[in-house]
Amino acid sequence: MTLEQLGNLGELVGAIAVIVSLLYLAVQIRHSSRVSQFEAHRNISESIASIMGDIAQDPDLYRLWKVMTETPEEATHDDRERFGMLLHRFFTVFSDAHRFSDTDPHLAVRYQTFIKRLLVMPAVRDWWSRQGVLYSDPFKPFVDEIAAQAEISSNDAQSS
Protein backbone atom coordinates (compact mmCIF):
# COMPACT_ATOMS: atom_id res chain seq x y z
CA MET A 1 0.00 0.00 0.00
CA THR A 2 1.36 3.38 -0.96
CA LEU A 3 1.60 6.41 1.22
CA GLU A 4 -1.16 8.06 -0.83
CA GLN A 5 -3.48 5.08 -0.31
CA LEU A 6 -2.78 5.15 3.42
CA GLY A 7 -3.61 8.87 3.47
CA ASN A 8 -6.91 8.25 1.67
CA LEU A 9 -7.77 5.43 4.09
CA GLY A 10 -6.97 7.72 7.03
CA GLU A 11 -9.29 10.40 5.63
CA LEU A 12 -12.09 7.84 5.19
CA VAL A 13 -11.68 6.55 8.75
CA GLY A 14 -11.62 10.15 10.03
CA ALA A 15 -14.79 11.02 8.11
CA ILE A 16 -16.58 7.95 9.49
CA ALA A 17 -15.46 8.86 13.02
CA VAL A 18 -16.84 12.40 12.60
CA ILE A 19 -20.21 11.05 11.38
CA VAL A 20 -20.41 8.59 14.28
CA SER A 21 -19.52 11.37 16.73
CA LEU A 22 -22.22 13.64 15.28
CA LEU A 23 -24.83 10.88 15.52
CA TYR A 24 -23.84 10.19 19.12
CA LEU A 25 -24.03 13.91 19.91
CA ALA A 26 -27.52 14.14 18.35
CA VAL A 27 -28.73 11.23 20.51
CA GLN A 28 -27.23 12.84 23.63
CA ILE A 29 -28.84 16.21 22.88
CA ARG A 30 -32.22 14.57 22.33
CA HIS A 31 -31.88 12.69 25.61
CA SER A 32 -30.83 15.86 27.42
CA SER A 33 -33.84 17.68 26.00
CA ARG A 34 -36.19 14.98 27.27
CA VAL A 35 -34.59 15.11 30.70
CA SER A 36 -35.01 18.89 30.75
CA GLN A 37 -38.67 18.59 29.80
CA PHE A 38 -39.22 16.00 32.51
CA GLU A 39 -37.51 18.24 35.07
CA ALA A 40 -39.67 21.21 34.06
CA HIS A 41 -42.84 19.11 34.41
CA ARG A 42 -41.68 17.79 37.75
CA ASN A 43 -40.68 21.19 39.13
CA ILE A 44 -43.96 22.78 38.12
CA SER A 45 -45.97 19.86 39.46
CA GLU A 46 -44.03 19.95 42.73
CA SER A 47 -44.56 23.70 43.05
CA ILE A 48 -48.31 23.43 42.52
CA ALA A 49 -48.51 20.39 44.82
CA SER A 50 -46.59 22.32 47.48
CA ILE A 51 -49.03 25.23 47.38
CA MET A 52 -52.02 22.88 47.40
CA GLY A 53 -50.41 20.89 50.24
CA ASP A 54 -49.98 24.08 52.25
CA ILE A 55 -53.68 24.83 51.78
CA ALA A 56 -54.73 21.30 52.71
CA GLN A 57 -52.50 21.06 55.79
CA ASP A 58 -52.99 24.52 57.27
CA PRO A 59 -56.53 24.94 58.69
CA ASP A 60 -56.33 28.74 58.41
CA LEU A 61 -55.22 28.60 54.76
CA TYR A 62 -57.93 26.04 54.03
CA ARG A 63 -60.55 28.32 55.61
CA LEU A 64 -59.15 31.24 53.61
CA TRP A 65 -59.32 29.23 50.37
CA LYS A 66 -62.91 28.13 51.04
CA VAL A 67 -64.08 31.64 51.93
CA MET A 68 -62.42 33.28 48.95
CA THR A 69 -63.53 30.68 46.41
CA GLU A 70 -67.06 30.07 47.71
CA THR A 71 -68.21 33.16 49.61
CA PRO A 72 -65.79 36.01 48.90
CA GLU A 73 -68.30 38.56 50.15
CA GLU A 74 -67.64 37.21 53.68
CA ALA A 75 -63.87 37.80 53.40
CA THR A 76 -62.05 40.32 55.53
CA HIS A 77 -59.45 42.71 54.18
CA ASP A 78 -56.73 40.45 55.61
CA ASP A 79 -58.34 37.43 53.90
CA ARG A 80 -58.17 39.20 50.55
CA GLU A 81 -54.54 40.19 51.12
CA ARG A 82 -53.47 36.67 52.08
CA PHE A 83 -55.45 35.17 49.21
CA GLY A 84 -53.64 37.53 46.84
CA MET A 85 -50.29 36.32 48.15
CA LEU A 86 -51.38 32.73 47.63
CA LEU A 87 -52.50 33.48 44.08
CA HIS A 88 -49.21 35.25 43.42
CA ARG A 89 -47.43 31.99 44.30
CA PHE A 90 -49.64 30.08 41.84
CA PHE A 91 -49.29 32.58 39.01
CA THR A 92 -45.52 32.83 39.44
CA VAL A 93 -45.34 29.08 38.83
CA PHE A 94 -47.67 29.44 35.83
CA SER A 95 -45.55 32.27 34.45
CA ASP A 96 -42.44 30.09 34.67
CA ALA A 97 -44.30 27.24 32.99
CA HIS A 98 -45.43 29.57 30.22
CA ARG A 99 -41.81 30.39 29.38
CA PHE A 100 -41.09 26.70 28.81
CA SER A 101 -44.31 25.88 26.97
CA ASP A 102 -42.85 26.76 23.57
CA THR A 103 -40.51 23.82 23.84
CA ASP A 104 -43.04 21.47 25.43
CA PRO A 105 -46.72 21.77 24.44
CA HIS A 106 -47.74 19.09 26.96
CA LEU A 107 -46.57 21.36 29.75
CA ALA A 108 -48.79 24.15 28.43
CA VAL A 109 -51.88 21.94 28.57
CA ARG A 110 -51.23 21.09 32.22
CA TYR A 111 -50.90 24.61 33.55
CA GLN A 112 -53.53 26.12 31.22
CA THR A 113 -56.11 23.74 32.65
CA PHE A 114 -55.24 24.84 36.18
CA ILE A 115 -55.39 28.53 35.24
CA LYS A 116 -58.82 28.02 33.68
CA ARG A 117 -60.09 26.32 36.84
CA LEU A 118 -58.86 29.20 38.96
CA LEU A 119 -60.14 31.98 36.71
CA VAL A 120 -63.68 30.63 36.79
CA MET A 121 -63.75 31.86 40.40
CA PRO A 122 -64.80 35.51 40.62
CA ALA A 123 -62.33 36.28 43.44
CA VAL A 124 -59.45 35.01 41.31
CA ARG A 125 -60.58 36.96 38.22
CA ASP A 126 -60.92 40.06 40.39
CA TRP A 127 -57.41 39.56 41.78
CA TRP A 128 -56.01 39.03 38.26
CA SER A 129 -57.71 42.19 36.99
CA ARG A 130 -55.81 44.18 39.64
CA GLN A 131 -52.52 42.27 39.82
CA GLY A 132 -52.07 40.96 36.29
CA VAL A 133 -50.12 44.10 35.41
CA LEU A 134 -47.24 42.72 37.49
CA TYR A 135 -46.66 39.93 34.98
CA SER A 136 -44.83 40.37 31.70
CA ASP A 137 -45.63 39.63 28.07
CA PRO A 138 -46.49 37.17 26.65
CA PHE A 139 -47.88 35.64 29.88
CA LYS A 140 -50.17 38.53 30.82
CA PRO A 141 -52.12 38.67 27.51
CA PHE A 142 -52.33 34.88 27.56
CA VAL A 143 -53.99 34.88 31.01
CA ASP A 144 -56.13 37.92 30.11
CA GLU A 145 -57.63 35.90 27.28
CA ILE A 146 -58.34 32.94 29.56
CA ALA A 147 -59.87 35.33 32.13
CA ALA A 148 -62.13 36.85 29.48
CA GLN A 149 -63.26 33.37 28.41
CA ALA A 150 -63.87 32.39 32.04
CA GLU A 151 -65.92 35.53 32.62
CA ILE A 152 -68.03 34.81 29.51
CA SER A 153 -68.55 31.20 30.71
CA SER A 154 -69.45 32.44 34.18
CA ASN A 155 -71.94 34.99 32.77
CA ASP A 156 -73.48 32.32 30.53
CA ALA A 157 -73.90 29.97 33.50
CA GLN A 158 -75.52 32.72 35.61
CA SER A 159 -78.01 33.67 32.89
CA SER A 160 -79.12 30.07 32.35
How do the residues of the chain divide into helix, strand and coil, expressed in percent and rounded to 5? 90, 0, 10
One-character DSSP codes across 5-35? HHHHHHHHHHHHHHHHHHHHHHHHHHHHHHH
- The 10s digit of each residue's pLDDT in 54-106 is 999 999 999 999 999 999 999 999 999 999 999 999 999 999 888 877 667 77
Domain count, the chain: 1
Burial of 92-111, coded b for 16+ CB within 10 Å and e otherwise, reads ebbbbbbebbeebeebbeeb
Residue 2: inside a domain: no
Residue 31: inside a domain: no
Residue 104: inside a domain: yes
How far apart are the C-alpha atoms of 14 and 31, rounded to whole Å?
26
Residue 55: inside a domain: yes
Question: What domain range is 115 assigned to?
Answer: 38-159
Residue 50: inside a domain: yes
Residue 75: inside a domain: yes
What is the average pLDDT score of the chain?
A: 88
